[in-house]
Amino acid sequence: MENKTLYTIIVHSENFAGLLNQVTAVFTRRQLNIESLNVSASSIKGVHKYTITCWTTPDIIEKVVKQIEKKIDVIQAHYFTDDEIFQQEVAMYKVSTPEFQATPEASKVIRRHSAHIVEVNPIFSIVELTGMSDEITSLYQDLKSLNCILQFVRSGRIAVSTSCFERVNEYLAHREERYRQEHS
């Protein structure tokens, strides 16, 4: 079996209802698990950005991305390996305040991971960490070993490419320029 890589797929689309379904359906058809998914408004008005991660092979990822881009309202889709992007995730750890405070080790763990405490009340506290996937897992394991975790949640990955231009802006400008030329 071919070795699988964790790819990050960045998709820009129009903000139309039902598009997320169309994008995820491309994965479903090929029985590919989406590892994480983040959808939000992009810097361009009316354009949404999806950041999707998925373990697969170079051959499959190329076909998947082309099939996503084929959807009428998808503007662009690209895939990246980890060395081609800056990427972050955010996680929140809800811990029991009495148990947290009773453990001297706890504050050292927080400092060592450069995490933040964003809420403290007599019942629970919330620790927040922004970082790479394995850093977030590592903090979870440390806090878990202190037996104080009540809830844990982590976001999907968000990423920006390391290239110095915004591909989508350029693409849209180019499309409109070509249209004007063909119709003038």
Partner 1 sequence: MSEEKISGSEALMRSLEYHGVKTIFGYPGGAIMPVFDALYDHLGKLNHILVRHEQGAVHAAQGFARVSGEIGVCLVTSGPGATNTITGIADAMIDSTPIVVIAGQVGAGLLGTDAFQEVDLVGITQPITKWSYQIRRAEDVAWAVARAFYIARSGRPGPVVLDFAKNAQTETTIYAPVDVDFIRSYDPDPETDPKAIAEAVRLIDEAERPFLLVGQGVELGNAQKELRDFIEKADIPCGCTLLGLSALPTNHPLNKGMLGMHGNLGPNVMTNECDVLIAVGMRFDDRVTGKLETYAKQAKVIHLDIDPSEIGKNVAVHVPILGNCKRTLPLLTKLIREKKHTAWIEGFESYEKTEYEKVISREVYPMEGPLNMGEVVHAVNEATHEEAILVTDVGQNQMMACRYFKFKNTRSLVTSGGMGTMGFCLPAAIGATFGSPERTVCAFMGDGGLQMTMQELGTVMEQKVPVKLILLNNNYLGNVRQWQAMFFNRRYSFTPMLNPDYMQIAAAYEIPARRVIERADLQDAIREMLETKGPFLLEVCVIEEGNVLPMTPPGYSVNDMLLEC
The residue ranges that bind partner 1 (CB under 8 A) are 13-14, 18, 21-22, 25, 29, 62-63, 66-67, 69-70, 72-75, 172, 175-176, 178-179, 183
State the nearest-atom distance from the C-beta of 65 to partner 1, in Å: 9
Q: What would you measure as the largest C-alpha separation in the chain, in angstroms?
A: 75
* Nearest-approach distance from CB 112 to partner 1, in angstroms: 46
Residue number with CB closer to partner 1 (25 or 132): 25
Rounded to an integer, what distance in angstroms lies between the CA atom of residue 22 and that of residue 26? 7
Closest distance to partner 1 from the beta carbon of 23 (Å): 10
**Do residues 78 and 167 lie in contact, with contact meaning Cβ atoms separated by under 8 Å?**
yes
Tell me the closest approach of the beta carbon of residue 66 to partner 1, in angstroms. 4
Considering the complex, state which of residue 29 and residue 144 has its C-beta at the smaller distance from partner 1.
Answer: 29
Q: How far apart are CA 32 and CA 148, in angstroms?
A: 35
112 vs 178 by CB, closer to partner 1: 178
Contact 54, 27 (CB under 8 A): yes
For partner 1, give the closer residue by CB, 86 or 171.
Answer: 171
Amino acid of residue 146: L
Q: Is 143 exposed, middle or buried (0-12, 13-18, 19+ CB in 10 A)?
A: buried
